[in-house]
Structure 1
Amino acid sequence: MLLPHGTVVAVVDGKTWDLWRNAGNEAAPELARIETPALVEHNHSSGGSHASPHQQDETAHATAVADWLGRQVGGHKIEQLVVIAPPKTLGELRHHWSKPVQNALSAEIAKDMVGRQPADVLAALRGR
């Protein structure tokens, strides 16, 4: 997969996330870490929810990540976006993508890559 200069790669799981920006070019990408902002994660589940507290926390995290990404795309701070997340987290994120985020997404990869080195993330993008 070609990764245009400036593309943001969000690597997310149910608890944490990493942000990278391609500081290289399409043919020779170089991922530079972006400071990952603290998120305000609200658990808005109803008292009648059958989800476990752990599942509710994962949902709140995914919702907060999607909201932050939506604000960045809407504010033109992110033009192109790639998201890598385990299938369950990716599914939850998809529920919250705004239309602008959907348009900015160039790829979604269902894989657990949080905490991995840039070379590993690039390998996952190439193996897509």
Structure 2
Amino acid sequence: MRLAKNGHVAVVDGERFVLLRNEGAPLEPKLGSAEEIDLDATNFSAGVKHQDEAGQRLGRTDLDELAHGAAVAECLNQKAIGNEIDELVVIADPKTLGEMRRHYHTELEKRLVGEIAKTMTSEPADRIAQAISNA
């Protein structure tokens, strides 16, 4: 996957959000300038579609994690609208990524160069960069 120099990478799961910047070449990303962003999860709109009692009981759905995904999407939307992000790659676990997609603003979608459905929040920057190169 190609990511321009100074492009952003959002690495997200149900609890963490790390925003990195590509300091390398477009086809050979080198990630630096990591910023861990702490958000208040306030949008529990996913609860409307996840009211399945069996899923809740078996732990398949955690509304707090989905609300965190929505909060990340809203944060990224604001950065895109404010021209703080030119290009963006989102790396998130599949459930969080699915929730985030529901909240993408059209301005963010224009800047999105790719998504990777994988949990990588605890991986070092070089492994994240390798995942982007391989995508």
Structure 1 position 118, deviation (Å)? 1.1
Match of 2:114 among 107, 110, 118: 107
- Counting aligned pairs with the same residue, the percent is 37
Q: Secondary structure at the match of 2:130?
A: helix
> Which residue pairs with 1:41 in the alignment?
41
Match of 2:125 in 1: 118
Asked whether the equivalents of residues 5 and 22 of structure 1 are also in contact (C-alpha less than 8 Å), the reply is: yes
TM-score by length of 2: 0.84
Q: What are the superposed Cα offsets for residues 81-106 of structure 1, whole Å, 9 maximum, x if unpaired?
A: 00011111111110000101111100
Distance 2:27 2:88 in 1: 17
Do the aligned partners of 2:87 and 2:112 also contact (CA within 8 Å) in 1?
yes
Tell me: higher relative CO, structure 1 or 2? Use CA pairs within 8 A at least 6 residues apart: 2
- In the alignment, what sits opposite 2:102? 95
CA RMSD of aligned residues (A): 2.0
Q: 5+ residue gaps in structure 1?
A: none
What is the count of residue pairs matched by the alignment?
A: 127
Is contact 1:72-1:78 (8 Å) kept?
yes
| CA-to-aligned-CA distance 1:17-67 (integer Å, 9 cap, x gap) | 211100122143210133222212115357x94464961101110010000
Amino acid corresponding to residue 121 of structure 1 in structure 2: I
